[in-house]
Structure 1
Amino acid sequence: MTTTTSPDPAEATVVGPPAGSARPSAPAPTATAPAPWPDLVSAALLGTERRRPPVAVRAGQGAAAALLDAAAVSTVRRRAALRPAPAGERPAPAPADPRPPLPPAARRRLSLLLADRGGAGGGSRRGTAPDLTELLPQWLAAAEGYGYRAPDALLPALLDAARARTDLRPAALALAGPRALWLARLNDAWRFALRGIGGPAAPPGDDGAEGVRRRWEEGLFAERVALLTALRRRDPREGLDLLRTTWATERAEDRLMFLDSLREGLSAPDEPFLEEALSDRSRNVRATAAELLSALPGSALAARMARRARTCVGLDRTAGAAVIAVEAPHECDAGMLRDGVAPTPPSGRGERAWWLGQLVEAAPLEGWRARFEGRDPVAIVALPVADDWRTELHDAWCRAAVRQRDAEWARALLGAPAAPAQAAEVAPTGSSRDLTKLLTVLPAEERARWVAEFIATHGLSDAFRMLGVCAVPWAEPLGRAVVDALDIARDAGSYPWSFSGVMGLAERCLDPAAADRLDMLTAVTDEPEGASPGSGGYWSEAFLRLVGTLRLRATMRTELAPPPSPGDDGRGAP
Structure 2
Amino acid sequence: MLGTDRRTPTGLTRPTGGEAAKGGTAAGGSTTAGDAAVGDAAGALLDAAALHTVRRRAGLRPGPAAPPPEPAPEDPRVPLPEAARRRLDQLLAGRTAPSPAGRRGAAPDLAELLPQWLALAEGHGYKAPAAALPALLDAARARTDLRPSALRFAGPRGLWLARLNPEWRFALRGTGAAGALPSPRDAEGVRALWDEGLFAERVALLAAVRNDDPAAGLALLASTWATERAEDRLMFLDSLRAGISDADEEFLEAALGDRSRNVRATAAELLSALPASALAGRMAARALTCVGLDRTADVPTIGVEAPHECDAAMRRDGVVAVPPAGRGERSWWLGRIVESAPLSCWPARFGGRAPEEIVALPVADGWRDELHAAWCRAAVRQRDADWSRALLGPPAIPPATGPGTSSLAERARLLSMLSPEERALWVARFVAAHGLSEAFQLLGVCAVPWAEPLGEAVIDALDIAREGGGYPWSFSGVMGLAERCLAPEAVGRLEPLTARPDEAEDIVPGAGGYWSEAFRRLVSTLRLRASIRAELTPPA
TM-score by length of 2: 0.88
Map 1:98-113 to 2 at 5 A.
98-113=76-91
**Shift of residue 488, structure 1, vs aligned partner:** 0.6
Provide the C-alpha distance between the structure 2 equivalents of 1:242 and 1:309, rounded to a whole number of angstroms: 35
**Shift of residue 258, structure 1, vs aligned partner:** 1.2
Pick the aligned partner of 2:443 from 460, 467, 473: 467
Provide the C-alpha distance between the structure 2 equivalents of 1:263 and 1:123, rounded to a whole number of angstroms: 49
Provide the C-alpha distance between the structure 2 equivalents of 1:148 and 1:87, rounded to a whole number of angstroms: 37
**1:513–1:487: structure 2 CA closer, same or farther, 3 Å change rule?**
same
Pick the aligned partner of 1:527 from 495, 503, 512: 503
State the partner residue of 2:532. 556
Provide the C-alpha distance between the structure 2 equivalents of 1:264 and 1:189, rounded to a whole number of angstroms: 31
Q: Is the 8 A contact 1:202 1:227 kept in 2?
A: no
Map 1:381-530 to 2 at 5 A.
381-420=359-398, 424-428=402-406, 434-530=410-506
Map 1:147-186 to 2 at 5 A.
147-186=125-164
Pick the aligned partner of 2:204 from 226, 240, 243: 226
TM-score by length of 1: 0.83
Q: Which runs of 5+ in 1 are unaligned?
A: 18-57, 564-571
Q: Which amino acid aligns with 2:384?
A: D
**1:295–1:79: structure 2 CA closer, same or farther, 3 Å change rule?**
farther
Q: Which amino acid aligns with 1:14?
A: T
**1:124–1:334: structure 2 CA closer, same or farther, 3 Å change rule?**
farther
SS in 2 for 1:262: coil
**Shift of residue 138, structure 1, vs aligned partner:** 0.7
State the partner residue of 1:55. none
Provide the C-alpha distance between the structure 2 equivalents of 1:13 and 1:450, rounded to a whole number of angstroms: 92
**Shift of residue 422, structure 1, vs aligned partner:** 7.2
Provide the C-alpha distance between the structure 2 equivalents of 1:364 and 1:75, rounded to a whole number of angstroms: 81
Provide the C-alpha distance between the structure 1 equivalents of 2:357 and 2:388, rounded to a whole number of angstroms: 13
Pick the aligned partner of 1:301 from 250, 274, 279: 279
Q: Is the 8 A contact 1:97 1:177 kept in 2?
A: yes
Provide the C-alpha distance between the structure 1 equivalents of 2:164 and 2:125, rounded to a whole number of angstroms: 26
State the partner residue of 2:249. 271
State the partner residue of 1:239. 217
SS in 1 for 2:428: helix
**1:67–1:400: structure 2 CA closer, same or farther, 3 Å change rule?**
farther
Provide the C-alpha distance between the structure 2 equivalents of 1:132 and 1:60, rounded to a whole number of angstroms: 66
Q: Is the 8 A contact 1:158 1:172 kept in 2?
A: yes
Provide the C-alpha distance between the structure 2 equivalents of 1:549 and 1:72, rounded to a whole number of angstroms: 62
Deviations 1:315-341 (A, max 9, x none): 123334322111000011111111111
**Shift of residue 101, structure 1, vs aligned partner:** 0.4
Pick the aligned partner of 1:377 from 346, 355, 377: 355
Percent identity over paired residues: 68
Give the RMSD, CA atoms, in angstroms.
Answer: 3.1
SS in 2 for 1:325: strand
Provide the C-alpha distance between the structure 2 equivalents of 1:408 and 1:128, rounded to a whole number of angstroms: 43
Q: Is the 8 A contact 1:278 1:286 kept in 2?
A: yes
Provide the C-alpha distance between the structure 1 equivalents of 2:246 and 2:361, rounded to a whole number of angstroms: 33
Provide the C-alpha distance between the structure 2 equivalents of 1:67 and 1:226, rounded to a whole number of angstroms: 62
Q: Is the 8 A contact 2:184 2:208 kept in 1?
A: no
State the partner residue of 1:14. 10
Q: After superposing the two structures, state which structure 1 stretch, 441-450 or 189-198, moved more.
A: 189-198
Q: Is the 8 A contact 1:196 1:230 kept in 2?
A: no
Q: Is the 8 A contact 2:341 2:378 kept in 1?
A: yes
**1:201–1:281: structure 2 CA closer, same or farther, 3 Å change rule?**
farther
Pick the aligned partner of 1:365 from 338, 343, 362: 343
Q: Is the 8 A contact 1:119 1:133 kept in 2?
A: no
**1:411–1:512: structure 2 CA closer, same or farther, 3 Å change rule?**
same
Q: Which amino acid aligns with 2:10?
A: V
Q: Tell whether 2:116 aligns with 1:134.
A: no
Q: Aligned pairs, how many?
A: 511
Q: Which amino acid aligns with 2:514?
A: Y
Q: Is the 8 A contact 2:183 2:190 kept in 1?
A: no
SS in 2 for 1:536: helix
Q: Which runs of 5+ in 2 are unaligned?
A: 14-36
Q: Which amino acid aligns with 1:456?
A: A
Q: Is the 8 A contact 2:84 2:535 kept in 1?
A: yes
Deviations 1:174-224 (A, max 9, x none): 221221222223233223333453795485239821111111122222211
SS in 1 for 2:239: helix
Q: Which amino acid aligns with 2:473?
A: W
State the partner residue of 2:226. 248
